[in-house]
Chains A and B, each alone.
Chain A
Amino acid sequence: MNEQDKLQSKLFIGAIIIMISLIVNIIYANTQKLDSPIFFKHYYEINTLERSVENIYLHYLTNSNDDREVLYINFPNVDKDIAFSVKQFSDTEYKHYNYKKIALSIEFDDSVYSRMKDKIFLGDALITFNDGATMEVDLGKIILMKYINGSISLDHVMSGSSSGNKSKDIFKLEEPIIINSITTNLLEESKDIINMKIVNDDSTNISLIEDLRSEKPNEPELTLNKMDNVSLIPFEYISLPLQVNSAMSIYTSFDIKEDSKKYNFYRILYLVNFETLSGEKGNEKLLNVRYEPYFTDKDLKNYLKDRGAI
């Protein structure tokens, strides 16, 4: 066999290997294909005090070549006069999928708002894409709350969140208070995934913030770095009632161990219910208690397998 014949044989074998590889890759890619977009579960508490809510972020996955956009979102079980609008927010490309984020906005006019109940539950939605296709999805549990302030409130010095889904709320007190309870409408969904710590009479944070604000008025969140040193305990072990005299910092973090909850999105509006020593009751919100999962290609694959989508 001369060199030409040898090379011809190698070319032939190479072509067969290439075609086998192509077929295997196409079969594998086909097994990863989604029949329809997959929406993540969202557990949100949203305050509707201002009669409009903007940028409630909803997240979903599509096949990588699916460039359709969400045009409308309707909630069949909700008052038809509440106006929902949606816009495509971002798009992150993964190996086989696009991870997309849409921003939902809600508008209430005065008459709708006045007849609105304390809470509206959004879950089952009808999504319409820009190619005309529609699909029914379960978005999780989004609670629109008609939140009413307590008769007295605390001086909310700062609220912020840091990487790693941690948050911190710092309050300055005019007078001593007794915290009776910390409540949320998503207690069942969140009780075993939240760690919390109430640092009683912590004036160091306040003086630190005051110093920082005078030096760098645009960077108040620098103090959040200090959160790493605080050890938090599971929410159910928070011991209440608790008297706080001058200042307090409430730290929260998400500690999700269950795979079924790891890829959900959370936005929890804890309400700190308190009373003064003279018996006057009030409440205050903890802001920025939020959780957004981070995904690798492997995470997405596992998630979709768990959902039975691939």
Chain B
Amino acid sequence: MSDNFNKIFWGIIITLFNFNIGWLNILPDFIGYGLMISGLSYLYNETKYKEFYIAKNISVIFFILSIIGIFYNMDLMKNMNFINQIISTTGGIIQISLVFYMYSGVINLLENNDDVDCSGIIDSIIISRRNYVYIILITTLIMTFFTNIKIDILQIIAIAIIVVNICMGIRWAQNIRIVRNYFNQNIV
């Protein structure tokens, strides 16, 4: 179990950050989503929780999109056209769904685990899930105004949104790591 949470943890880290040597991205996003698909597939097969199944399918969508993204550079700041905005907004909503269902699956898994008390971890993840959904919904809503915001203000808001998204992503990875460590220590 902990191996699969480990895969998901590294998958999140790879999709959050770009690991470049010069111009070459040595760990492109599709590798991260591939690791998530692998981890979530195992968790679904083990538990049959529909949340893991949905999260896995969303990861498949992102896996395909990230491969397309290698050939189609979608830089929202430089190329503020409507298609890019629709893609990025839709991507934002799907991303929230991925995190929501992954968190929900983990909460179900921990709630149905009677071996060692993990109520503290569950409470923490419930709060993280709620915060993630609310905060990223708000930032995604703000992004919909980008085509009608002056570029210098837009840049400031965009940077703030990127920082918020990275912080929320790190928290997500941190929670998965806590769950990995929990299974590593208590169940293996």
Contact = CB atoms under 8 A, between A and B. Distances in A.
A29 B80 CA distance: 11
Interface residues of A, number: 26
Contact of A22 (B89, B107, B137): B89
A8 interface: yes
A7 B130 contact: yes
Nearest to B137: A14
Contacts of B85: 22, 26
Interface in B88-136: 89, 92-93, 96-97, 100, 104, 107, 126, 129-130, 133-134
B155 to A, nearest CB: 10
Interface in B57-100: 79-82, 85-86, 89, 92-93, 96-97, 100
B151 A25 contact: no
Given A18-B93, A22-B85, A29 B129 contact: no
Interface residues of B, number: 31
Nearest to B126: A3
Given A15-B137, A29-B82, 5 more contacts: A7-B100, A18-B137, A22-B144, A26-B86, A30-B82
18 contacts: A7-B133, A10-B134, A14-B133, A18-B89, A18-B93, A18-B141, A21-B141, A22-B86, A22-B89, A22-B144, A25-B145, A25-B146, A25-B147, A28-B148, A29-B148, A95-B149, A96-B148, A297-B150
B95 to A, nearest CB: 11
A94 B100 CA distance: 38
Closest 10 CB pairs of A and B: A14-B137, A29-B147, A22-B144, A21-B144, A95-B150, A93-B151, A15-B93, A22-B89, A26-B82, A18-B141
